[in-house]
Chain A
Amino acid sequence: MVSSSSHDRGQIMLIGAVAIAFIFLGLAAVYTAQISARPATTGSVGDQGAEATELNREARRNVRAIAIRVNHERPYYTSRAALRDRIRAETNDYSGLMAETYAGGQGASVNVSAGGGTGVGTRTTLYNDSTMTDGGSADWTVVDDSDIGWFVLNFNVTEMDNGESFVVYVENGTGASATYTFTRSSAGRSVMTVNVSATTGALGVGGTCNPRGNRSLIDLTSGESFTSDCSVQPAIDDLDGPYTVEFRNGDNGVGKFSVVTDDDASEWGTFNGLGTCPSASAEPCTTYAAWDVAVTARYESGRISYNNTQNVTVYEGV
């Protein structure tokens, strides 16, 4: 026979096991209920968060696009304030269109603005067709030890002499260089040839950059042409800045050009003596260009409120 106390102990163990089993089942039920009871609106808030993020991305992209167009739509700006006011006004126009779009579609209130902290760089430009000389000097320094955001040559090919070469020499802080030689050809279909030599290890690649009409536009920062399928390598973007740029035989190059650097206006004239636009004669001059812009994007809906200000470098990734 089993004693009464030992029998009780065995029963207590059994009852304890059943109790533990119920605790396990209870915990499982509570856990399941908690997961199933997550609010169904979580996704909606997530969607609106994604919309706010998307607005921020679009604002950054489009204020940058607006600033570039404002920089180059006029021959020159007479003051920093005139340039900043123009960027602000165009951004406001864009913001109004975005506000109407979001109000009609998503039911959200949005606003995009370009703040007063616009960083101003320098645009060195020849805005009327002429030879690419400086005060009669055919060899001169266009950019001295600066970052370049934009460098476009706009040749009037029919005004250039056959077989006479115009040269652009670019060197960076490490001594790597590229030399671009532009020549109007006298025969055949190759109206404008570009030869490139470089010290970057890679062979320079040039080509035939024929004009559309009489103009040949070449973007040296990207190495692409706006008027033909040609491209040149290395482009300026392939060399690390800061850069020094020299024009050689500038009297052989006819047309316009525009270079935007991060130089402050206080540095104007220290290396090439260029005057402030408007130039008294058909010569290169310096004017203002937006280099970076403070962009604020605001998104308001019933569920979320989002406000973000960021500094955008205008020519980054162009």
Chain B
Amino acid sequence: MQEPDRAQAFTLEGFVAAAVVLASVLLALQTVVVPPDAGTANQDDSLRTQAEDILRTQASADGHDLTHTVRYWDPLRRTFDGAQDRTVGYGDQALPTALFDGAFERTFSARGLTYNVVLVYHQPGVAPRREEPMLYQGTPGPGAVTARHTVTLYDEMTLTSPGVGPRQLDQYDADPAVDTATFYPIPDVSDGPVYNVVEVRVTVW
């Protein structure tokens, strides 16, 4: 009776060994790897990337590119076309579809996020750059992220708001004291064909 006993013992031990190896393999496979972008810092990176993607997509769009956005100014009302005022720009309103085609609303507002869009432009001489709010919804909260894109304006470009005439940018005046309907806040800072270089700054929180 020794041979059957020995075989049974080997079989049992083999089963136990196989079970141990299988269990360890399954446990290793089940090990959860926490991806790095689950952290707060990487969530911020993700928001910034989304804002940068919107700016870059708009910058390379045919027709209504990012310079079109910067020139969407109504010289009669002295605001961006349809905006509330110069302090908050479009403020709590949504941006017109002619600007970014609702991309910021779909990407951020729909998720309960808030954002500002501000234009930062050069002044003549050595004066520091100045800001013109296009859409200002308040002071950015903690954890706010900022995306930027630069656009170059040229002297012979025209404003793009509906109904504006063929007047070239270099025929507008950046002095708000000017009486006529020729006020555009971004000045001509170069003697050559370049008019100004404007940074479109988007802050999301």
Contacts and interface: CB of A to CB of B under 8 A. Distances in A.
B108 interface: no
A6 B56 contact: no
A6 B196 CA distance: 90
Interface residues of B, number: 48
Contact of A25 (B14, B27, B48, B194): B27
B120 A2 contact: no
Contacts of B190: 93-94, 97
A97 B197 CA distance: 6
Given A14-B16, A32-B31, A90-B193, A2 B154 contact: no
A38 interface: yes
B33 A35 contact: yes
B201 A105 contact: yes
Q: Chain A's interface: helix, strand, loop or mixed, by majority? A: helix
A104 B56 CA distance: 20
A18 B23 CA distance: 10
B199 A20 contact: no
Contacts, number: 126
B111 interface: no
Given A90-B193, A90-B194, A25 B41 contact: no
B45 A10 contact: no
B194 A28 contact: no
Interface in B106-158: 120, 122, 129, 148-150, 152, 154, 156
Given A10-B9, A90-B194, A101-B199, A58 B152 contact: yes
B196 A17 contact: no
A62 B193 CA distance: 11
A97 B196 contact: yes
A3 interface: yes
17 contacts: A2-B6, A10-B10, A14-B20, A18-B20, A22-B24, A32-B31, A40-B39, A47-B45, A58-B150, A69-B193, A70-B193, A94-B194, A97-B122, A101-B197, A102-B150, A104-B120, A105-B201
Interface of B: 2, 5-6, 9-10, 13-14, 16-18, 20-21, 23-25, 27-28, 31, 33-34, 36, 39, 41-42, 45, 48, 52, 56, 120, 122, 129, 148-150, 152, 154, 156, 166, 189-194, 196-197, 199, 201
Given A18-B20, A40-B42, 7 more contacts: A11-B13, A17-B20, A21-B23, A21-B24, A35-B33, A66-B194, A97-B197
Shortest Cβ-Cβ A-B pairs, 6 listed: A21-B24, A17-B17, A28-B28, A69-B193, A97-B197, A10-B13
Interface of A: 1-3, 6-7, 10-11, 13-14, 16-18, 20-22, 24-25, 27-29, 31-32, 35-36, 38, 40, 43, 47, 50, 54, 58, 62, 65-66, 69-70, 73, 89-90, 93-94, 97-98, 100-102, 104-106, 212
